[in-house]
């Protein structure tokens, strides 16, 4: 089945790519999904990239229960207010009503900080640098596979610190040295790092830092968040310690997370009208060899050569598509849809000429390569594909970044062509709400460090205090 064109119907294109590339499918409970092996392999590659970086920064993995006593949420009112519409509550189990309702975790600050109160007594117990890989449940009103589902997979880091400066440093370290590196070096997705406006912060956070990327439909996607929580959770859950001056003090907190939404970001950043285009660092199959033959004799000869070639590409993820019941053209389309970075076509005439045909997914241009040089050329093509996808996405983002002169021009640009709008902002929630009401655009990020903005507030014309980046978003 042919894919819809991105320019004609991007949501339909996305849905069909996820379906036809066998990444995921809806499950029986509303808003849930089955992640199929090919999609899960992409998630596992993202998971490895993030987990390696988390551990390299001195953090350890652990695990907390998915059921949280409701009373824990009630002790942090701001947190409850922010999550109340999304929380799933268990009231019955074992054939009877529970004496105390249990929340299916939407995030784990509450149960973790209640536990940290028992683990922290002195400044010598700090910092606590912990992360968990888990599933969470948030009752989404408008689910979409990978992007917003009732249940999704993620990691959530929760750290406790002796000082505010140390906690802020932790939040930014995770943002730049874990998340940004994983997005740009592995997923090949260029991102903007910044702060959220107060209205967009995580409930209970003092500061929320974010990475924002631009998808092919010119909408923004929040790739992850890293929160500086101050002493709010320590106060709510009694996490205090004896400081170096012999006085009781509340711990300073961070939390940070990245989810399976990142898979959706890879699809929508790199995909084209033919399907996925996967960065080699993520691709479950980096190289596919398609043997071409007509007779049994040709089949044996070509398959033997294909196996030798696969052995020569040791260290790469190689697949030989030796299915007898499908024509080569079908196989080409199949692997193109799945975004395999490099295809090699090998037939009897190629063997006679001691060559093979190499086709990078990035360009689609066929190149005849002598067999002795094929291994080097494949690796070169993979390197070019990784860099090329990043450069292509960055150029697309930059082409769709604008500095409108006034709100009227910004409204026009948001409708067509869309993208990031950089403007001055006075800092008022009223101006922020006005833009959202009239355009549906939100402030995606403010600079990590406040900087003098160019021009006045785009809404009210008063002096600006920050440069805001606005966009329509997922």
CATH code, 21: 3.30.930.10
In a domain, 276, yes or no: no
Q: How many helices (H) and strands (E) does the chain have?
A: 15, 23
Domain CATH code at residue 330:
3.40.50.800
In a domain, 335, yes or no: yes
CA–CA gap between residue 253 and residue 162 (Å, rounded): 9
pTM confidence score: 0.96
Whether residue 420 contacts residue 469, with contact meaning beta carbons closer than 8 Å, is answered with yes
Name the residue among 161, 244, 177, 243 with its Cα closest to residue 209: 177
Residues 132 and 23 in one domain: yes
| Domain region containing 211 | 10-270
Query: Mind giving me the DSSP string for 32-50?
Result: -EEEPHHHHHHHHHHHHHH
Name the residue among 174, 208, 176 with its Cα closest to residue 192: 176
Residues 102 and 158 in one domain: yes
Q: For the chain, what is the domain count?
A: 3
In a domain, 54, yes or no: yes
CA–CA gap between residue 102 and residue 24 (Å, rounded): 29
Residues 174 and 39 in one domain: yes
Name the residue among 399, 439, 438, 445 with its Cα closest to residue 422: 445
CA–CA gap between residue 160 and residue 251 (Å, rounded): 6
**pLDDT tens track, the chain, 474 positions:** 799 999 999 999 999 999 999 999 999 999 999 999 999 999 999 999 999 999 999 999 999 999 999 999 888 766 656 666 789 999 999 999 999 999 999 999 999 999 999 999 999 999 999 999 999 999 888 999 999 999 999 999 999 999 999 999 999 999 999 999 999 999 999 999 999 999 999 988 999 999 999 999 999 999 999 999 999 999 999 999 999 999 999 999 999 999 999 999 999 999 999 999 999 999 999 999 999 999 999 999 999 999 999 999 999 999 999 999 999 999 999 999 999 999 999 999 999 999 999 999 999 999 999 999 999 999 999 999 999 999 999 999 999 999 999 999 999 999 999 999 999 999 999 999 999 999 999 999 999 998 888 899 999 999 999 999 999 999
Residues 312 and 358 in one domain: yes
Q: Which segments of 148-302 are extended strands (E)? A: 151-161, 192-195, 207-214, 220-230, 240-242, 248-250, 252-259, 287-291
CA dihedral 60, 66, 70, 75 (to 10 degrees): 10
State which of 381, 414, 443 marks the end of a domain.
381
State which of 381, 416, 434 marks the end of a domain.
381
CA–CA gap between residue 15 and residue 286 (Å, rounded): 23
Helix axes 37-56, 261-270, angle to 10 degrees: 110
Name the residue among 252, 240, 236, 254 with its Cα closest to residue 122: 240
Sign of CA dihedral 46, 383, 351, 327: positive
Residues 201 and 335 in one domain: no
CA dihedral 193, 199, 205, 206 (to 10 degrees): 80
In a domain, 442, yes or no: yes
State residue 79's pLDDT score: 61
State residue 1's pLDDT score: 78
CA–CA gap between residue 237 and residue 333 (Å, rounded): 56
Whether residue 346 contacts residue 302, with contact meaning beta carbons closer than 8 Å, is answered with yes
In a domain, 391, yes or no: no
**CB contact burial 299-334 (16+ within 10 A = b; e otherwise):** bebbbebbeebbeebeebbbebbeeeeeeeeebbeb
User: Strand 88-93's sheet: what is its strand order?
Assistant: 67-69, 96-104, 88-93
Residues 111 and 191 in one domain: yes
In a domain, 77, yes or no: yes
Domain CATH code at residue 410:
3.30.110.30
Residues 162 and 203 in one domain: yes
Residue 34, Cβ neighbours under 10 Å: how many?
A: 12
State which of 381, 409, 432 marks the end of a domain.
381
Residues 414 and 373 in one domain: no
Residues 254 and 324 in one domain: no
State residue 443's pLDDT score: 98
State residue 80's pLDDT score: 53
Whether residue 207 contacts residue 252, with contact meaning beta carbons closer than 8 Å, is answered with no
CA–CA gap between residue 378 and residue 177 (Å, rounded): 30
Residues 26 and 76 in one domain: yes
Residues 29 and 112 in one domain: yes
In a domain, 386, yes or no: no
In a domain, 292, yes or no: yes
Residues 261 and 207 in one domain: yes
């Amino acid at each position: 089945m042919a894919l819809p064109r991105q320019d004609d119907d991007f949501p339909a294109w996305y849905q069909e790519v996820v379906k036809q590339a066998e990444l995921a499918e809806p499950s029986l409970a509303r808003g849930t999904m089955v992640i199929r092996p090919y999609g899960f392999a992409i998630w596992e590659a993202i998971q490895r990239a993030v987990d390696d970086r988390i551990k390299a920064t001195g953090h350890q993995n652990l695990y907390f229960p998915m059921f949280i006593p409701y009373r824990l949420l009630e002790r942090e009112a701001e947190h409850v207010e922010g999550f109340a519409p999304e929380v799933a509550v268990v009231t019955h189990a074992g054939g009877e009503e529970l004496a105390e309702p249990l929340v299916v975790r939407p995030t784990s600050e509450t149960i973790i900080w209640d536990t940290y109160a028992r683990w922290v007594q002195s400044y010598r117990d700090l910092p606590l640098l912990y992360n968990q890989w888990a599933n969470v449940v948030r009752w989404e009103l408008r689910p979409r596979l990978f992007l917003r589902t009732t249940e999704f997979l993620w990691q959530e880091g929760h750290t406790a610190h002796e000082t505010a400066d140390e906690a802020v440093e932790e939040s930014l370290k995770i943002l730049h040295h874990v998340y940004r590196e994983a997005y740009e070096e592995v997923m090949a997705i260029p991102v903007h790092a910044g702060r959220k406006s107060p209205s967009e912060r995580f409930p209970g956070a003092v500061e929320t830092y974010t990475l924002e990327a631009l998808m092919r439909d010119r909408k923004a996607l929040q790739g992850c968040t890293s929160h500086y929580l101050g002493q709010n959770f320590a106060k709510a859950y009694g996490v205090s310690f004896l400081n170096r001056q012999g006085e009781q003090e509340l711990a300073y907190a961070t939390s940070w997370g990245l989810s399976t939404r990142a898979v959706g970001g890879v699809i929508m950043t790199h995909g084209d009208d033919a399907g996925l285009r996967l960065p080699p660092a993520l691709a479950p199959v980096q190289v596919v060899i398609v043997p071409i033959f007509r007779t049994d004799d040709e089949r044996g000869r070509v398959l033997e050569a294909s196996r030798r070639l696969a052995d020569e590409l040791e260290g790469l993820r190689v697949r030989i598509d030796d299915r007898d019941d499908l024509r080569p053209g079908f196989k080409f389309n199949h692997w193109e849809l799945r975004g395999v970075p490099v295809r090699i076509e090998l037939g009897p005439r190629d063997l006679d000429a001691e060559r093979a045909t190499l086709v990078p997914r990035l360009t689609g241009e066929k190149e005849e390569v002598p067999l002795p040089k094929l291994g080097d050329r494949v690796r070169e093509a993979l390197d070019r594909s990784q860099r090329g996808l990043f450069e292509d996405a960055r150029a697309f983002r930059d082409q769709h970044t604008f500095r409108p002169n006034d709100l009227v021009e910004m409204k026009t640009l948001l409708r067509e062509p869309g993208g990031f709008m950089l403007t001055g902002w006075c800092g008022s929630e009223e101006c922020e709400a006005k833009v959202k009401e009239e355009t549906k655009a939100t402030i995606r990020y403010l600079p990590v460090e406040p900087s003098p903005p160019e021009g006045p507030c785009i809404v009210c014309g008063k002096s600006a205090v920050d440069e805001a980046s606005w966009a329509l978003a997922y």
